[in-house]
Structure 1
Amino acid sequence: MSMSRLFIVAGGAKGIGAAIGTLLAARGHRVAIADIDTDNAARTAQSMGTDHAAYHVDVSDEASVTRLFDAVQKQQGRISGLICAAGLLILPNGQRSPIEKLELEDWERSFAVNTRGAFLCSREFLRRFSAMPTAHGRVVFLGSVAAQLGGYRSSAAYIAAKAGLMGYAKAYAREVAHLGITANCIAPGLIDTDMLRNTIASSGDLDKAANSIPLGRIGSVEDVAAAAAYLVSEEASYLTGSVIDVNGGYRMQ
């Protein structure tokens, strides 16, 4: 059993982020759930029991990220790891925008949350870690199979932003390795979340999508959480700069 540590889950109010926070708490870690959705962040933190807390953050805003880390350090102590789970898929009128109709505002907002947000949070974690190092520093980024395949009903903005994040994760891992920090990226496939259901019109389409996966099912948020829990464990101390595919065989390499 790994020793108890403190993790920030940015984008932890719902979906994959909430599942990761819940599993880390169940394994004895302390968790700070941070999200722009403060109501659901509070509910998620409360559901995990004591020693956990919820915080407001807009990951795309530098000052907001700094305030988050200040608050977590003050209230919960030294931060051992970070999960960058905040994500945004913009679907105007519920539909994917083809590139010729893609608005610059939507492109920039997608990068602000999916890429800049991960940069701001991981940079702040590095600054705090360098000032107060701990054993086994851990950072986990959330990419997407969409960035690897060119998308599954996803917009070009989301695909490009996640691809940028996955490249950044490798650069980050190389730079922080000498500090004893590992940094890895999970690339979820088709996972049963609000984001996926918003891109699929009916349950019939969901069944059709499941049939395209070698393991024959849509993934669960718990599948992704299990991978994240391993990546932050002591057992993963020699794993860094990697992309872990959690996709049921939807993409193999």
Structure 2
Amino acid sequence: MDLYLKEKTAVVTGASQGIGRAIVRELAIEGVKVLAVARNGDLLNSLKAEVVAAGGVEPVTLIQDFVAPDGPQKIAAAALAALGHVDILVNNAGRSRPVEVVGPEEPWKESMTLDFERHRQLTQALLPHFMERKQGVILNLTSTYELRTLNVSAVAKAAVVAWSKQLAGQLGRYGIRVNCLQPGLIDTENIRPYFPGDERRKFAEREIPLGDFGEPQDMANMAAFLVSPRARYVTGTVATVDGGMRYHPF
């Protein structure tokens, strides 16, 4: 299926590994010119080489600390300078942050900044551009937020969902679509430590109808569809990629 993404442009944060890396690679293979943003230059360079080897459009890379106070503004400026215009924004950066019920304030401030505030600020920096062009697609990566234990990232990502739905309601008149993509248990560095040894297989066989964890590519496949013109009538929704899992252990 042609997703009609050739010659589109995109910004992807948290692009150097895991789900973000897979999304950059998939979009580039579909013909998208991507600004890939992350802190690790070595990983960004290896991503660029990987994309080129796969026959994709060589991404532009930007080494930038997303949580720096001026991070969103620098990313937006770099995107417009490097790409000329931006068609797609994928807000992917984030990190799981479990906390105790009673604890210090710092983890809350840090995680809310990373997992909500900076995404909001980057989006707001690019929205005038989208609105002027009367087009654009925003895809916000969320998380499983109905957990059994306290995790600041999950709280922030729940806020992302509410914010995304409100944005979708206001921006449709400008031809701008806003959706969320929610992973189940995807085989990434964030998840592996929670399932040592044989625990992954046991849990998956017991709780996931499709029998195993997902791969970053599974998320990238759905992301590519949601940001493509093929999904022109999809906005304000949360797409879940979880193999049918309806129970979370954390």
**TM-score, normalization by structure 2:** 0.89
Distance in 2 (CA, whole Å) between partners of 1:176 and 1:134 is: 9
Distance in 1 (CA, whole Å) between partners of 2:111 and 2:43 is: 21
Match of 1:87 in 2: 94
Match of 1:198 in 2: 193
Larger helix percent: 1
> Aligned runs of 1:1-253 on 2, under 5 Å?
1=2, 2=4, 3-49=6-52, 50-90=57-97, 96-100=98-102, 102-131=103-132, 133=133, 135=135, 137-145=136-144, 147=145, 149-151=146-148, 155-200=150-195, 202-211=196-205, 212-251=207-246
Distance in 2 (CA, whole Å) between partners of 1:76 and 1:230 is: 21
Preserved CA contact (<8 Å) 1:209 1:218 = no
Match of 1:93 in 2: none
How many residues of Structure 1 are paired with residues of Structure 2 in the alignment?
A: 239
Q: What residue identity is the alignment partner of 1:205?
A: E
Choose 187-196 or 105-114, whichever is displaced more: 105-114
Q: What residue identity is the alignment partner of 1:129?
A: F
Instruction: Give 1:175 deviation, angstroms.
Output: 1.8
Distance in 1 (CA, whole Å) between partners of 2:38 and 2:233 is: 30
Preserved CA contact (<8 Å) 2:13 2:37 = yes
Instruction: Give 1:62 deviation, angstroms.
Output: 4.5
**TM-score, normalization by structure 1:** 0.88
SS in structure 2 of the partner of residue 73 of structure 1: helix
Preserved CA contact (<8 Å) 1:59 1:120 = no
In structure 1, list runs of 5 or more residues that go unmatched.
91-95
Instruction: Give 1:134 deviation, angstroms.
Output: 5.8
Cα distance change, pair 127–62 in 1 and its aligned pair in 2 (3 A): farther
SS in structure 2 of the partner of residue 79 of structure 1: coil
Q: What residue identity is the alignment partner of 2:147?
A: G
Q: What residue identity is the alignment partner of 1:64?
A: G
In structure 2, list runs of 5 or more residues that go unmatched.
none
Preserved CA contact (<8 Å) 1:46 1:53 = no
Instruction: Give 1:17 deviation, angstroms.
Output: 0.4
SS in structure 1 of the partner of residue 233 of structure 2: coil
Instruction: Give 1:104 deviation, angstroms.
Output: 1.1
Q: What residue identity is the alignment partner of 2:111?
A: S
Preserved CA contact (<8 Å) 1:57 1:65 = no
Distance in 2 (CA, whole Å) between partners of 1:181 and 1:214 is: 35
CA-to-aligned-CA distance 1:149-197 (integer Å, 9 cap, x gap):
225xx64212211111111111121121111111100110000000001
CA-to-aligned-CA distance 1:81-130 (integer Å, 9 cap, x gap):
1001101123xxxxx43212x32111111111111121112112212223
Cα distance change, pair 156–112 in 1 and its aligned pair in 2 (3 A): same
Instruction: Give 1:246 deviation, angstroms.
Output: 0.5
Choose 120-129 or 183-192, whichever is displaced more: 120-129
- Identity over the aligned pairs, expressed in percent? 27
Distance in 2 (CA, whole Å) between partners of 1:97 and 1:181 is: 36
Preserved CA contact (<8 Å) 2:134 2:176 = no
Distance in 2 (CA, whole Å) between partners of 1:231 and 1:38 is: 28
